[in-house]
A and B are shown apart, each in its own frame.
Chain A
Amino acid sequence: MSTRIETFRYDDDVVRKFLVATFVWGLVGMLVGLLIALQLVMPSLNVAPFLTFGRLRPLHTNAVVFAFAGNAFFCGAYYSSQRLLKTRMFSDLLSRLHFWGWQLIIVCAAITLPLGFTQAKEYAELEWPIDILIALVWVVFAVNFFGTIARRRERHLYVAIWFYIASIVTVAILHIFNNLAIPVGPFKSYSIYGGAQDAFMQWWYGHNAVAFFLTTPFLGLMYYFLPKAAERPVFSYRLSIIHFWTLVFLYIWAGPHHLHYTALPEWASTLGMVFSVMLWMPSWGGGINGLLTLRGAWHKVVDDPILKFFVVAVTAYMMATFEGPMLSVKSVNALAHYTDWVIAHVHTGALGWNGFMTFGMIYWLLPRLFQTELHSKKLAEVHFWFATFGMILYATAIYSAGLTQGLMWRAFDQTGRLQFPDFIETTMRLMPMYWFRAVGGTLYIVGMLLFGWNILMTWRKRPRDLGDPIAHAPALEGRYRPEPAHGGVFGLGWHRAWEGLPLTFTIWVVLAVVVASLFEVLPTFLIRSNIPTIAAVKPLTPLELAGRDLYIREGCFNCHSQMIRPLRWETERYGEYSKPGESVYDHPFLWGSRRIGPDLAREGGRYNELWHVRHMENPRAVNPRSIMPAYPGLLTQPLAFGSIQRSVDAMAMLGVPYGDAISHAESMARQQAHEVAARVVEQGGPAHLDDKEIVALVAYLQRLGTDIKAATTAASTGGADPADEGGAH
């Protein structure tokens, strides 16, 4: 065995870069969050098309998830991996490519999302060229990371590294398979999956994006930085291993709990619920492991803002991971789904777990990265209290809003009718809580500004030459031999060998993720009875398809669902519940996950064309209490008839039976636009809308849910059977 001591330097420059990016993008993402929170109480703040709620909400989520939390993960991972593996990163060039590539992605998102370029899939809104860029940058990160592991000087991979490995490989799998799409233009594509299958893929991705981008990477950070800050080892290393493997085994199955009572097969929904409930155990095991690491050191928490941040972070992790499984229980989900309760849940995790972990980590890193004292410990304390009170105020207000919404939606009066049949009534009741949310968010952002000031002033006190730290470690023996005492299958020395063989270890992680994914996802794709088709449901007309693209561009799906659950309070309010076969031609699906406005699945025919025109031009003109943004531009902007054929062709490629429209899409669209515009004039509306975007959107809205209605009418007069579910046998 070699005892030669080698001297090397860590690359802290890239860590500093990620640190600064974390703060900058975090502040931007939170400010956008505050703006959209205020837009809900002051719709007049939707001042321009590119600043409307529907376009900014994905910008907020992408900025805080991928820019703030993403950069924080990279910052901590680059710092801790080098120390745990006792080597410099594999390649300085790849480190810089990773850093600048990721920032380029964020800038692209910040430009394209307000412009309305979106795939309409939550946390996967970015269009196909940016998706390719993400994949490339992720490969750069992976090569750099695994290259670093390959040339490490520490044989054993500490558990934090396991969490990083799981995050890197799983995010790659999720990103690639959820974003498979047919490009229609430079920044427009249609998901290759449709309807229930797309919903399944999206929430397989969406839930695991939370798991493997916001949870496992930060658990890796927790297992490194919490022991460092507490100056004691993790309470139970054994428990950390159980924590890791149980999360890897269970998390990947849990996604369908986002689709309870929707048109997803019930077996999938139940599967998601059961695995989500099982997640309670590893999550709390891990959280308790984190908190017990402070056993015997709690007195330090009183004086140390870093430990305070970590304690609240782990507590928030435990709260969020208690609440998540609870929300996945169907009866609870029936109340909470589509309401602000889910928004409160997400923010407990994001503000508490990800935010506080990041703050604690960066305060710990600042003196080490800038080789000077932290500018002000007192300011860090003040930051902690601002952030804590801000988070509590935010959560209290939005939990109240969510419960209020859910309970009002399902309330019946003594005569058995809906107690609040007018949706706007339930929205107005939330306004005081939305104001409190904005105050809570502002307090959190004030804390961020103090954080930024502390970073800036610490940076200013840095020595002139910030050289890379020097470290020493013995060179690693070339070939690994597991200890004889643990050899053999029953001695379980083979697992020890895995840990020394990162490639084998990684393959097993991938296998766990892929096998679970295949068992869950494939039946929905391959067994036809899971998605019964309905003979009466036909593809959208070319004009309606163009209208759907506008619906996506404006982000209407951020506030309006298109999925009526088979629950009495929903069918009473919106009409017949949604069937899987109704959305088979929807690429992407637009079921939505939140109702700031009412569900639109049966919107077609509810109002006349003129009502929709007036409503889009100025919602307050038809409903003085509406909080929806106005879209007057739709009445003046010309519709891009020239691109409709391309959209129809792409849909046809995906298997949507378009028939004649494959060669006549534009003329068909013009003909229907003329008819819609004529009806608007007949109803007393403005003339000359034939070639404007509004006619396409109105045509689409008037089509929603009408195939079933038309079939029902036909059946009652001796026509086709509306329940002709061709694939159900």
Chain B
Amino acid sequence: MERITNLLGRAGLFDDTVIALVLFFLAFLVIVLRVYSPSRRRQMDAMAHLPLDDASDDAAKPGASR
């Protein structure tokens, strides 16, 4: 453990945290591009309706046929 600590301490690996920042930002950018792609509007609308598509809530309410 002592050797690993010394080795990594001298390697300066963690001085390059900017790499992590760039990677995360790129991933974020890709997701934004994908989400706001105009061709996906219809698909997004369909997904937004998923919670409302389920009729079992009404079935469970009083007076509904079961």
Chain B associates with chain A: yes
Point out residues on A near B: beta carbons under 8 Å. 10, 12, 80, 83-84, 86, 154, 156, 158-160, 223-224, 227-228, 231-234, 237-238, 241-242, 245-246, 249, 271, 367-369, 371-373, 467, 469-471, 485-486, 492, 495-496, 512, 515-516, 519, 522-523, 526-529
CB-based contact A522/B14 at 8 Å:
yes
Distance between A513 CB and nearest chain B CB, rounded to angstroms: 12
Known: A231-B52, A238-B44, A246-B28. A529 touches B61 (CB 8 A): no
Total B residues in contact with A, Cβ cutoff 8 Å: 39
Decide if the interface of chain A is mainly helix, strand, loop or mixed: helix
Chain B neighbourhood of A246, CB < 8 A: 28
CB-based contact A245/B6 at 8 Å:
no
CB-based contact B61/A228 at 8 Å:
no
Chain A neighbourhood of B45, CB < 8 A: 233, 237
CB-based contact A249/B27 at 8 Å:
yes
Distance between B21 CB and nearest chain A CB, rounded to angstroms: 9
Chain A neighbourhood of B30, CB < 8 A: 492, 495
CB-based contact B51/A83 at 8 Å:
yes
Distance between A423 CB and nearest chain B CB, rounded to angstroms: 40
CB-based contact B66/A519 at 8 Å:
no
Bound CA–CA A237/B56 (angstroms) = 23
Known: A154-B50, A249-B28, A373-B62. A523 touches B14 (CB 8 A): yes
Kindly state whether residue B20 has any CB partner on chain A within 8 Å. yes
The one of A242, A271, A368, A496 in contact with B57, judged by C-beta atoms closer than 8 angstroms, is A368
Bound CA–CA A616/B27 (angstroms) = 56
Chain B neighbourhood of A368, CB < 8 A: 57, 60-61
CB-based contact A84/B44 at 8 Å:
no
Q: Give the residues from 1 to 25 in chain B that come closer than 8 angstroms, CB to CB, to chain A.
A: 4-6, 8-9, 14, 17, 20, 24
The one of A231, A367, A485 in contact with B62, judged by C-beta atoms closer than 8 angstroms, is A367
CB-based contact A526/B44 at 8 Å:
no
Q: A467-B66, A495-B30, A519-B20 known; 18 other A-B pairs, CB under 8 Å?
A: A83-B54, A158-B47, A228-B51, A233-B48, A233-B49, A238-B36, A242-B31, A242-B32, A245-B31, A249-B27, A368-B60, A369-B60, A371-B61, A371-B62, A373-B62, A516-B20, A527-B5, A529-B9
Chain A neighbourhood of B35, CB < 8 A: 238, 241-242
Bound CA–CA A237/B45 (angstroms) = 7
CB-based contact B54/A485 at 8 Å:
no
CB-based contact A515/B47 at 8 Å:
no
Q: Write the chain B residue with the least CB distance to A12.
A: B60
Distance between A463 CB and nearest chain B CB, rounded to angstroms: 8
CB-based contact A224/B51 at 8 Å:
yes
Of residues A154, A233, A522, A529, which shows the largest number of chain B Cβ atoms within 10 Å of its Cβ?
A: A233
Bound CA–CA A249/B20 (angstroms) = 11
Chain B neighbourhood of A526, CB < 8 A: 4-5, 8-9, 14
Bound CA–CA A323/B14 (angstroms) = 31
CB-based contact B51/A156 at 8 Å:
no
The one of B49, B54, B62 in contact with A372, judged by C-beta atoms closer than 8 angstroms, is B62
CB-based contact B8/A233 at 8 Å:
no
Distance between B61 CB and nearest chain A CB, rounded to angstroms: 6
The one of A241, A495, A496, A515 in contact with B20, judged by C-beta atoms closer than 8 angstroms, is A515
Known: A233-B49, A485-B39. A519 touches B33 (CB 8 A): no
Distance between A72 CB and nearest chain B CB, rounded to angstroms: 18
The one of A80, A156, A373 in contact with B47, judged by C-beta atoms closer than 8 angstroms, is A156
The one of A156, A249, A470 in contact with B56, judged by C-beta atoms closer than 8 angstroms, is A470
Known: A368-B60, A467-B66, A527-B14. A245 touches B48 (CB 8 A): no
Known: A237-B48, A526-B4. A495 touches B60 (CB 8 A): no
23 A–B contacts from the bound complex (CB under 8 Å):
A80-B51, A83-B57, A86-B54, A156-B47, A158-B50, A160-B51, A228-B57, A237-B45, A237-B48, A238-B36, A241-B35, A242-B31, A245-B31, A246-B28, A368-B57, A467-B66, A470-B59, A471-B59, A492-B37, A495-B34, A526-B4, A527-B5, A527-B8
Chain B neighbourhood of A245, CB < 8 A: 27-28, 31
CB-based contact A495/B51 at 8 Å:
no
Of residues B8, B35, B51, which shows the largest number of chain A Cβ atoms within 10 Å of its Cβ?
A: B51
Chain B neighbourhood of A271, CB < 8 A: 17
Q: Write the chain B residue with the least CB distance to A466.
A: B60
Distance between A7 CB and nearest chain B CB, rounded to angstroms: 11
Chain B neighbourhood of A495, CB < 8 A: 30-31, 34
CB-based contact B66/A227 at 8 Å:
no
Bound CA–CA A467/B45 (angstroms) = 33
Distance between B9 CB and nearest chain A CB, rounded to angstroms: 5
Chain A neighbourhood of B56, CB < 8 A: 10, 83, 469-471
Bound CA–CA A224/B50 (angstroms) = 9
Bound CA–CA A600/B27 (angstroms) = 46
Bound CA–CA A371/B8 (angstroms) = 62
Of residues A10, A238, A245, A470, which shows the largest number of chain B Cβ atoms within 10 Å of its Cβ?
A: A238
Q: Write the chain A residue with the least CB distance to B4.
A: A526
CB-based contact B51/A492 at 8 Å:
no
Distance between A9 CB and nearest chain B CB, rounded to angstroms: 9
Chain A neighbourhood of B17, CB < 8 A: 271, 519
Distance between A208 CB and nearest chain B CB, rounded to angstroms: 16
Bound CA–CA A241/B45 (angstroms) = 13
Bound CA–CA A249/B30 (angstroms) = 13
Bound CA–CA A544/B1 (angstroms) = 29
Bound CA–CA A241/B62 (angstroms) = 35
Bound CA–CA A174/B8 (angstroms) = 24
CB-based contact B59/A469 at 8 Å:
yes
Q: Write the chain A residue with the least CB distance to B8.
A: A526
CB-based contact A528/B66 at 8 Å:
no
Bound CA–CA A141/B36 (angstroms) = 34
Known: A83-B51, A233-B48, A486-B40. A241 touches B9 (CB 8 A): no
CB-based contact A527/B9 at 8 Å:
yes
Distance between A76 CB and nearest chain B CB, rounded to angstroms: 12
Distance between A421 CB and nearest chain B CB, rounded to angstroms: 43
Distance between B24 CB and nearest chain A CB, rounded to angstroms: 5
Bound CA–CA A480/B59 (angstroms) = 30
Distance between B38 CB and nearest chain A CB, rounded to angstroms: 11
Bound CA–CA A492/B35 (angstroms) = 9
